[in-house]
Amino acid sequence: MDILNFNEFDLDEKILDAIEKLGYKRPTEVQSLVIPSVLKDKDLIVKSQTGSGKTASFGIPICEKIEVEEREPQALVITPTRELAVQIKEDISIIGKFKKIRCAAIFGKQPIKMQERELKQRVPIVVGTPGRVLDHIARGNLHLEKIKYLVIDEADEMFNMGFIDQVESIVKELPTNRVTLLFSATMNEKIHKLCDKYMNNPMNISIKSNINSLKKIQQFYYEVREENKFNLLNNIIYSQNPDSTIIFCNTRDKVSELLKNMKSEGYSCRALHGGVEQKERLSAINMFKKGEIQFLIATDVAARGIDVENITHVINYDIPMEREAYVHRIGRTGRAGNKGIAITLKCPYENKFLKSIEEYLEYDIQKAEEPTPKEIEEGKKIFKNKISVKPKLKEDKASKINEEITKIHIKAGKKKKIRPGDIVGAITGIEGINSEDIGIIDIQDNFSYVDIFNKKAKLILRNGDNFKIKGKSVKVQKAFN
């Protein structure tokens, strides 16, 4: 199917507006095939690699089909990792922003009360990891009666991580007259059995492997002994002068050790692995996205769910033992037509792992010679000068959309018995503002946030301390994140 632009899907203008501001020019292959099928409410089994644009392929049509006025959740997305849950929430929130669609992410290691409060509001789309989704179902926080769409993302990873029993437990709680969408990079017998059991005459969509596109990434390896790895890494960094780089290790301990060593050398870096506190994990990813840090040192948990633009280098400090992991790792670079470099440090006893990767890729990864002393010294000067300058922060993909929206802070919330209708009534009572100018309303215990469209916020903010809700004056000001 040759879809030239998103207008051909006959989408809501508000969604098309968000897509345009996100910079999406033309649908990817998976989007061209999945979007029209979801709009027709077909069950789908989609074999597609990470980085193919699959989040938007289900996020766009689900946002199109959502009934905004319905209070209960209408779509549930199950993911294997917290990072992926957060990434999908961010992407869907951007796509549905102008249509006033909220999306909640629920996952472990984050206070359950905070998630419970969010689920009590009008949240049509919920993204979560299996264990925390089941927890909220058991507590009565997540109501499933109105679920029309179930998305099982990264199904192969769900199996690998031992989550499949939990996924089945969730599916059994859902309405049977739903649309089920399953996405997986690889398909095995267990996944097919799950599909046969819970899907209704599903349509199969297979997107060609992105292995060929990986060949566009410059890939090479260095032969090195374990005890010399850090010294070689320093020399590679000096000679390559990378900008935004993910360095992969196979274990948490190795990540922690490398982080300590790199910090002692003055590198701007943070760690990401399963043992890092959730708040720190999200902070590390956000800092890396913005360009506040240059190096993210991670285990394979970072290979899924991190969508960061303009990653120039991926360095496998440890060679991955599974060839699929290699593909996921280096797929972080060379995106959206950009060039990328993937470097692997291989010890002499790891030849079998490199050979397995090359057979899978049908590609010979070239051996590189160590940088010369001259290259290292020249590169060191450039690198030292570069890190002495404050980095220019990157714009995130939501920035253009956020330019169109002003978030205001109202000093009144649930404890004053404020409801969304009260806020809408108060704002539309101001001359020059109607309901179309009001976006997502988030009411917390002592205050509320409201998105205001069409540059109308100034009409509200001029009221200062005299903004009235239910006849009482409350303070209103611009919210600062």
Same fold: 213-387 with 405-478: no
> Crossing angle, helix 130-139 and helix 164-173, to 10 degrees?
40
- Choose among 11, 8, 80, 96: nearest CA to 405: 96
Angle of helix 130-139 relative to helix 112-119, nearest 10 degrees, comes to 70
pLDDT value of position 317: 97
Give the chain's largest Cα–Cα span: 76
Q: Which pLDDT score is estimated for 125?
A: 97
246 pLDDT higher than 80? yes
Tokens of 251: 């274990």
Is the pLDDT at 119 greater than 70, yes or no? yes
> Euclidean distance between the first and final Cα of the chain, in Å?
42
pLDDT band at 393 (very low <50, low <70, confident <90, very high): low
Q: Rounded to 5 degrees, what angle do the CA atoms 3, 154, 146 make?
A: 80
pLDDT value at 391 more than 70: no
For the record, the structure tokens of 10 come out as 């006959």
Confidence at residue 384, expressed as pLDDT on a 0 to 100 scale: 75
Residues 202-210 have a mean pLDDT of 81
User: Which one has a higher pLDDT value, 189 or 220?
Assistant: 220
- Span 180-209, mean pLDDT? 87
Banded pLDDT at 300 (limits 50, 70, 90): confident
Q: pLDDT tens for residues 13-51?
A: 999 998 888 777 788 888 999 999 999 999 999 988 766
Return the structure tokens found at 124: 């049509």
User: What pLDDT, on a 0 to 100 scale, did the predictor assign at position 473?
Assistant: 87
User: DSSP labels for 244-293?
Assistant: SEEEE-SSHHHHHHHHHHHHHTT--EEEESTTS-HHHHHHHHHHHHHTS-
Question: How are the residues of the chain apportioned to helix, strand and coil, as percentages rounded to the nearest 5?
Answer: 45, 20, 40
pLDDT confidence of residue 397: 64
On the question of pLDDT at 233 being above 80, the answer is: yes
Q: Would you kindly state where each structural domain of the chain is located, as residue ranges?
A: 6-206, 213-387, 405-478
Higher-pLDDT residue of 372, 310? 372
Predicted confidence band of residue 171 (pLDDT cuts 50, 70, 90):
very high
Q: Between 399 and 160, whose confidence is greater?
A: 160
Query: What pLDDT score was predicted for residue 5?
Result: 85
Question: What letters, b where the CB count within 10 A reaches 16 and e where it falls short, cover 254-264?
Answer: bbbebbebbee
- Residue at token pair 């002068």: 241
Question: Average pLDDT, stretch 183-199?
Answer: 86
CB atoms within 10 A of CB 103: 27
Q: Identify the pLDDT of residue 329.
A: 87
Contact 5, 27 (CB under 8 A): yes
Residue 210 has pLDDT above 60, yes or no: no
Residue with tokens 């890190």: 387
Q: Quick one: fold of 405-478?
A: Alpha-Beta Plaits (3.30.70)
User: What digits encode the pLDDT tens for the residues 323-362?
Assistant: 878 888 888 887 666 778 999 999 999 999 999 999 888 8
The mean pLDDT of the chain is: 87
Q: Are strands 103-106 and 125-128 parallel, antiparallel or unpaired?
A: parallel
Q: Quick one: tokens of 153?
A: 């993302």
Q: Which residue, 178, 184, 193, 175, is CA-closest to 152? A: 184
- What are the distances in angstroms from CA 186 to CA 37, 182, 191, 419? 21, 11, 9, 46
Element of type H or E holding 205: strand 203-206
- pLDDT tens-digit profile of 71-112? 899 999 999 988 889 889 989 999 999 999 999 999 988 889
Please check whether residue 76 is in contact with residue 213, taking contact to mean a CB–CB distance below 8 angstroms.
no
The DSSP secondary structure of 106-167, one letter per residue, reads E-TTS-HHHHHHHHTS--SEEEE-HHHHHHHHHHT-S--TT--EEEE-SHHHHHHTT-HHHH
For residue 450, the cross-strand partners are 408, 441
In this structure, are residues 246 and 315 in contact, taking their beta carbons and an 8 Å threshold?
yes
> Across 15-24, 141-150, 267-276, which has the greatest mean pLDDT?
141-150
Name, in order, each residue with C-beta under 8 angstroms of 144's C-beta and a sequence gap of 6 or more. Answer: 73, 76, 137, 173, 174, 175
Check pLDDT > 70 for residue 400. no
181 touches 149 (CB < 8 A): yes
**164-193 average pLDDT score:** 91
Q: Which of 68-77, 124-133, 305-314 has the lowest mean pLDDT?
A: 305-314
Percent of the chain whose predicted confidence (pLDDT) is above 90:
44
Most confident of 161-170, 208-217, 278-287, 293-302: 161-170
pLDDT for the residue numbered 247: 96
Taking residues 218-226, report their average pLDDT. Answer: 94
Which pLDDT does position 223 carry in this prediction?
Answer: 95
- Where is 219: in which H helix or E strand? strand 218-223
State the fold for domain 6-206.
Rossmann fold (3.40.50)
pLDDT (0 to 100) of residue 260: 95
The model's pTM: 0.77
pLDDT at residue 305, rounded to an integer? 59
The domain made up of 213-387 has a fold known as Rossmann fold (3.40.50)
45: enclosing H helix or E strand: strand 44-47
